[in-house]
Structure 1
Amino acid sequence: MTKHFKSLLAATAVSTIMAFSAQAEEPVRGGTLIHTLYDTPRHLNPAVQSGIATGAPGAQLFAAPLRYDENWTPQPYLAKSWEWSNNGLTMTLKLVEGATFHDGAPITSEDVAFSIKTVQENHPFKTMFAPVTSVDTPDPLTAVINLSQPHPALLLAMSSHLLPIIPKHVYGDGQDIKTHPQNSENVVGSGPFKLVEFNRDQNIVLERYDDFFMEGRPYLDRVVYRIIKDASARTISLENGEVHMSTFELTTRNIQRMKKNPNLTVTADGYAAVGALEWLAFNTGSEGPVSDKRVRQAIAYAIDKNFILKALYQGLATEAKTGIHPGSPFYDDSVNAYEIDLDKANALLDEAGYAKGADGTRFDLTIDYGSVAAKPQAEFIKASLSKVGIKVSVNSFVDFPTWAQKISNYNFDMTMDSVFNWGDPVIGVHRTYDSNNIKKGVIWSNTQQYSNPRVDELLNEAGKEIDPEKRKALYAEFQEIVAEDIPNYFLNTSPYHTVYNSKVGNPPLGIWASGSPYDRVYLKE
């Protein structure tokens, strides 16, 4: 037997095994997936509304030009191909043939241009399409995106729920698109599922769009989102099989409990692009002690991060050393992590001129939090800082708007916060550190009032650098400087988990979690 024939035989055997495996795992068509949402969406149009609650059903109702796999690789979706110009100033999309909206109208390049303009003008993530100057539509299936500068975040900004392709013939009727009645009722989408009903605070019912442009998909007949705001109630529903899947679960005791259920899979996979981080933010623009970076560094050295990870989060969260999520290809874990060192903390406070008084106190600070989930960390930090002479008062607020109003108007010393990266640093990271984004009254902008000219330069350069390695080097320097200046003390990733029943095939474990299209999801029984 020749070597060539042996290789051919081996390849045939492998192919046969793979074919058998694929056949054994062939998705089943039909069935209703029962999914939970922990909050009610304001509406169902992600073009003008960010957030998890809108993004989950929105990704099913609307298709995007691209989708991403679990390795951060862009894949065709409504666009079958895309091509950069040599100078990086134009992107040409070729759309799939035969794609239609849920009312039967064809999806054309005019709809792509209209969608980009709508997102550019109305979505809170302004940086996603800020460099777009125009979109040419030379024919119904070609869209040419023109840029004022190279924009490396463009591909990711055209994925999942960041760029839903919405119908111009519906939303271009002159009404205010943010309050358009068809954001919530009679939604005309472009995705694998169409809206049946939206019962606020109860459920959202979607059904298969039979003329979806991907033949044979979606596999499911229906997706029903049950809005269950209580975490314990969601856990019980998952355990008794009333619902098949829940995403963005973060209550540690419930996660640990569900891990013991043989009918459930509990995983942290799928949240890399969402990039949720938790940190202690400092008002660097205040006239108080935290305006001094030595004080901020001292505070970091006084906190035992491992206690937060192991005791408070029971090992379900991952350490985060920078403002870029550990799941991002741009994350640099070589920066100073500020391991607990009370001697260093005390020395830095002495150096900053804050000697201990007769009662052992150096100065007073407040720490705010707007989510009950942040209370344990806030109380632990209060106890930790007392060991180095900092007296902390903890302020809590009954609702998010009250907290957001105070923080965005710079009426704080320190606050617990959770902020999303949203895939590319241009979209979700720059906003926190660019001094041009110090915008009073706007939450989740640069509410720390942090300003460093070199950081501004690095972010500007990285925001238009197409070469991945050069871009990574720019973000590495950025992370090193921010670790030194410490406008935020980075704690951990938010412990988001997806929980799904053993009946669920192809759960959303890519980079966008439930913001991914569910055309491939199926029920095994």
Structure 2
Amino acid sequence: MKHALKGLVTATALAAVMATGAVSADEPKRGGTLLTTLQQNPRNLNPAVQSGTVTGFPGAQLFASPLRYDDDWTPQPYLAESWSVSDDGLTVTLNLVKNAKFHDGHPITSSDVAFSVKVIQEKHPFKAMFAPVASVDTPDDHTAILNLDRPHPALMLAMSGQLMSIIPEHIYGDGQDPKSHPRNNADVVGSGPFKLVEFKNGEHVILERFDDFFIEGRPYLDKIVMRIITDPAARAIALENGELHFSGFESLPRIINRLKKVDGLNVTADGYGAIGPLDWLAINTTKGPLADKRVRQAIAYAVDRNFIQKALMQGTASDALTGIHPDSPFYEADVNPYDLDLDKANALLDEAGFAKGSDGMRFGLTIDFGWPDVKPQVEYTKAALKKVGIDVTVRASADFPAWAKRMGTMDFELSWDTVFNWGDPVIGVHRTYLSSNIAKGVWSNTQGYSNTSVDEILAAAAVETDSDKRKALYSQFQKIVNDEVPLYFTNTLPYHTVYSDKVGNPPIGIWGTSTPIDNMYLK
């Protein structure tokens, strides 16, 4: 059943399957209020029209998806009790559970699945997830048949986590724009294990158990209180004092290491493989000296990623050598790591024709950043490149939107950036490298990177249903990009989950908190 794309997958002992990911031998206990946190104020609680992890945590509790995944990337039944994929990969049949209801009591039917696909295709930021779906047939209330115009191996992951929330057609099909629908944040009618009690901007999101959830006995928790706490230090104090039971997506190294020393708290980096967060130095390949591959390679040899990981990230991040997250089954580790080598860097710059001037400098570059957490990386890069004769000027944007505009309009030379894989490479990786995504105003291939061979390899990988052949294609892709260095890869973003000893079954599968926590409980 692993990475199954063909044949029939059926649910056996659904409740037992749902327990995947348990980290405690304790018998799950029903009841209690989970005290947790969101790091930002959600703009929207409807994941069908909004991406992002802040939407994903409450959204995955309010809305169900057809599938869910265990921690070894194996699809499991959820709203779909079974599914099948035709031999040619062009038809995916979902067999829905028979007893599923929305929070207002309306039954969840195949028509809602078809409607949800249409909304995601039109309104979600990751439209490519369902672009190959030409139509959805609904022969009966519990069968949805997705008809594809080309094979789409990314579809299985796209039907899980927060990426394919099933929303009610009788609510969102009223003629209003689903993207700005008033029921996205108030009076939410969902399909998941918890229902909305209150969303108070800047303060909290409160959910409570949906008693008619389609998995018997779930969820275990009575209520979830998600306090909106934007200050990492304030979250740390709340965790230390027992005011919070749980927090996901913690990424500040000093806070992570501080919490690791607290008795009664568990801190783990497990559970973010499908989110796939990566840090990298973005390089505008269309600007001056940076258009020369040798210059980009020299920058990679001059910037010491081991220093970044050990000194700046304080040992909380993992090595990441390509644009695919190392937890992904498609990651290729056998590439040039560009270990620190100033002699190689200088030789490449000399070869490219950029001799040192009387002041020891070869040319100047600017480096941008959009949020304070990456300022240490930026300042380190300035110092590191000076050693090989590149004079770097730091440009701090007024705020995140100002920096994002610079990136989107390609008004930069170097910049530290963070990106997410979002499960399958088709969803979150291709966008960065396809030459068709070079467009000012669009935050995708902001590096202006163009390689016909890469375009062809990614196009082939997007429709290849054989997992071994896909892996070979992505290996080839990663080796080409590693050689051409449109980005210098340094590390995974150090997302960590922090949870109290009182918490059973914390969400440490591949989707982090962007997955339902119906099996989480308080001991």
Which TM-score applies when normalising by structure 1?
Answer: 0.95
How far apart are the structure 1 equivalents of 2:102 and 2:439? 38
Residues 1:438 and 2:438 aligned together: yes
Residue 439 of structure 1: CA displacement?
A: 2.1
Cα shift readout 1:107-158 (whole Å, capped 9, x = no counterpart): 0000000001100111111210111100000000000000011000001000
In structure 1, the residue matched to 2:7 is none
Cα shift readout 1:212-233 (whole Å, capped 9, x = no counterpart): 0000000000011000000000
Residue 24 of structure 1: CA displacement?
A: 6.0
Cα shift readout 1:314-365 (whole Å, capped 9, x = no counterpart): 1110111000000100000101110111111011101111000010000000
The AA in structure 2 aligned to 1:237 is A
In structure 1, the residue matched to 2:487 is 488
1:259-408 equivalence runs, <5 A = 259-286=260-287, 288-408=288-408
The AA in structure 2 aligned to 1:28 is K
1:474-485 equivalence runs, <5 A = 474-485=473-484
The number of equivalent residue pairs is 502
Mean CA deviation greater in 248-257 or 64-73: 248-257
How far apart are the structure 2 equivalents of 1:24 and 1:168? 40
Residue 57 of structure 1: CA displacement?
A: 0.1
Secondary structure at 1:422's aligned position in 2? coil
In structure 1, the residue matched to 2:120 is 119
* Gap change, CA 1:22 and 1:378, over 3 Å in 2: closer
In structure 1, the residue matched to 2:506 is 507
Residue 371 of structure 1: CA displacement?
A: 1.3
In structure 1, the residue matched to 2:52 is 51
Secondary structure at 2:375's aligned position in 1? helix
Secondary structure at 1:220's aligned position in 2? coil
* Gap change, CA 1:293 and 1:117, over 3 Å in 2: same
1:29-68 equivalence runs, <5 A = 29-68=30-69
Is contact 2:281–2:414 with CA below 8 Å preserved after alignment? yes
Secondary structure at 2:162's aligned position in 1? helix
1:452-467 equivalence runs, <5 A = 452-467=451-466
How far apart are the structure 1 equivalents of 2:213 and 2:127? 30
Secondary structure at 1:513's aligned position in 2? coil
Is contact 2:24–2:505 with CA below 8 Å preserved after alignment? no
1:125-140 equivalence runs, <5 A = 125-140=126-141
Question: Where does structure 1 lack aligned partners over 5 or more consecutive residues?
Answer: 1-20
Residues 1:90 and 2:97 aligned together: no
The AA in structure 2 aligned to 1:479 is Q
The AA in structure 1 aligned to 2:181 is H
Decide which structure has the larger Cα Rg and report it: 1
Secondary structure at 1:514's aligned position in 2? coil
* Gap change, CA 1:492 and 1:233, over 3 Å in 2: same
* Gap change, CA 1:22 and 1:33, over 3 Å in 2: closer
Which TM-score applies when normalising by structure 2?
Answer: 0.95
Residues 1:497 and 2:496 aligned together: yes
The AA in structure 1 aligned to 2:519 is R
In structure 2, the residue matched to 1:13 is none
Secondary structure at 1:295's aligned position in 2? helix
Cα shift readout 1:379-422 (whole Å, capped 9, x = no counterpart): 11110000000000111123211001011101111110000000
The AA in structure 2 aligned to 1:225 is M
Cα shift readout 1:273-327 (whole Å, capped 9, x = no counterpart): 00000000111122x1111111000000011111111111111101110000001
How far apart are the structure 2 equivalents of 1:438 and 1:132? 25
Residue 516 of structure 1: CA displacement?
A: 1.0
How far apart are the structure 2 equivalents of 1:254 and 1:417? 21
In structure 1, the residue matched to 2:14 is none
How far apart are the structure 1 equivalents of 2:48 and 2:150? 23
In structure 1, the residue matched to 2:415 is 415
Secondary structure at 1:491's aligned position in 2? strand
Secondary structure at 2:513's aligned position in 1? helix
Cα shift readout 1:237-265 (whole Å, capped 9, x = no counterpart): 00000010011101111111111111100
The AA in structure 2 aligned to 1:69 is D
How far apart are the structure 1 equivalents of 2:113 and 2:407? 37
Secondary structure at 1:515's aligned position in 2? coil
The AA in structure 2 aligned to 1:26 is E
Secondary structure at 1:289's aligned position in 2? helix
Secondary structure at 2:401's aligned position in 1? helix
Secondary structure at 1:319's aligned position in 2? coil
Question: Where does structure 2 lack aligned partners over 5 or more consecutive residues?
Answer: 1-21
How far apart are the structure 2 equivalents of 1:104 and 1:126? 30
Secondary structure at 1:152's aligned position in 2? coil
Runs of 4+ in 1 over 2 A off after TM superposition: 21-24
How far apart are the structure 2 equivalents of 1:342 and 1:434? 31
In structure 1, the residue matched to 2:228 is 227
The AA in structure 2 aligned to 1:317 is A
Secondary structure at 2:346's aligned position in 1? helix
1:463-474 equivalence runs, <5 A = 463-474=462-473
1:144-223 equivalence runs, <5 A = 144-223=145-224
Cα shift readout 1:444-478 (whole Å, capped 9, x = no counterpart): x0010100000000000000000000000000000
CA-based RMSD: 1.1
